[in-house]
Amino acid sequence: MSEVRSRRLGVAAALVEGRLLPGDVTVAGDRVEAVGLPPAPGGRVAAPGLVDLQVNGFAGVDVMTAGPDELDHLARELAAHGVTAWLPTLVTAAPASTRQALSVLAGVVAAPRPDRAARALGVHLEGPFLSPQRLGTHQAEHRRDPDLPLLLGWCAAGPVVAVTLAPELPGALEVVRALTERGVLVSVGHSDATAEQAHAGFDAGARTVTHLFNAMSPLHHRAPGVAGAALGRVDVTVQLVVDGHHLHDDTVRSAWAAARGRTVLVSDATAAATRPDGAYTLAGVPVEVVAGAVRNGAGALAGSALTLDAAVRNAVALGIDPAQALAAASEVPARLLGRTDVGRLHPGGPADLVVLDDALGVDTVLVDGVPVS
């Protein structure tokens, strides 16, 4: 039997349990061998592979309509940007379209991970149980009030691990409790809930908020809405799209200060991510990218063209501590999903890693210890 050779990553520090631990990292085969070794010169850092909880599309591929080969291509493109685990996200669509997409994604999740590609951890259903007042680009004709038998049928058809819904809708709290009992992550989003209604959703089992501040009741000093309720609760994790379009810089800083350690960076990426400005679709809805912003025909934001590594750099440019920003794109989302096999860098753990240069640009990505081209 041949001996597995170890090799150093050549980093000065590594993200371990929320802090940048000085020292180099060695990898042997598909495992992390050691951390905290004498640091390499320069400012390169290693982090767990990034975990993106909201990917509607990427690199010209729309998740809702993609086939297995297109999804493999998408997963390889994600890995090139440091993402080694992701949730394919299905927005509101006709029930038959959702079921068909779930069938395709069930095969993708169950199949061995393609070489040098991000691993799909399960499906995020963003809709259709959303507020008619806060739909954004979700198709109004396919929006509906919560329907537990329909949802459980979808869960049987595909590996649903997260659901975004509006807790103020009739029957929503029953759905939240049923999903929570089954271990599905429930997120409040596209909601016109009052703070009291949001609290009821969190008390029923919802543990996070989808793209905080966007497509939800606004924060007012006497009517704090979803955002105010979430930021005030230490048991709720908030998700932010930090692309310079979804949120004002001061809003990002304020949310981060209020929810330090329970903030997740997501891309909310569409097929436009990594592609030039122009025309694309989101679950069949025409969208257009102008100056990096993805908008529908009415001019409203419709997902993003963001990559998760860019979200980390954007957060740091706003004054967020680099260790916190990296953790928000790796450790915190993994913890939210209850996964211990992704989003962590430790001896004996999987060598799904990203090495970043001193400007936090992606230098090298390892998937199962193999460098991604």
* Catalytic center residues: 268
CA end-to-end distance (rounded Å), the chain: 28
CB atoms within 10 A of CB 361: 11
Q: What is the DSSP string of 107-118?
A: HHHHSPPPTT-P
Residues β-bridged to residue 343: none
As beta bridge partners, residue 126 has 91, 164
247 neighbors 279 (Cβ within 8 angstroms): no
* Residue 92 half-sphere exposure toward CB, CA atoms < 13 A: 25
Question: Which residue carries 């379209």 as its tokens?
Answer: 97
Question: Which residue in the block uniquely carries the two structure tokens 């430790």?
Answer: 346
Kindly state the tokens that stand for 73.
Answer: 């291509």
3-class DSSP assignment, residue 79? helix
Assess contact for 19 and 233: CB atoms under 8 A. Answer: no
Before 128, cis peptide (omega within 30)?
yes
341-356 CB burial, b ≥16 within 10 A, e <16: ebbbbeeebbbbbbbb
Residue entry with tokens 């109004």: 140
Q: What angle do CA 170, 137, 108 make, to 5 degrees?
A: 90
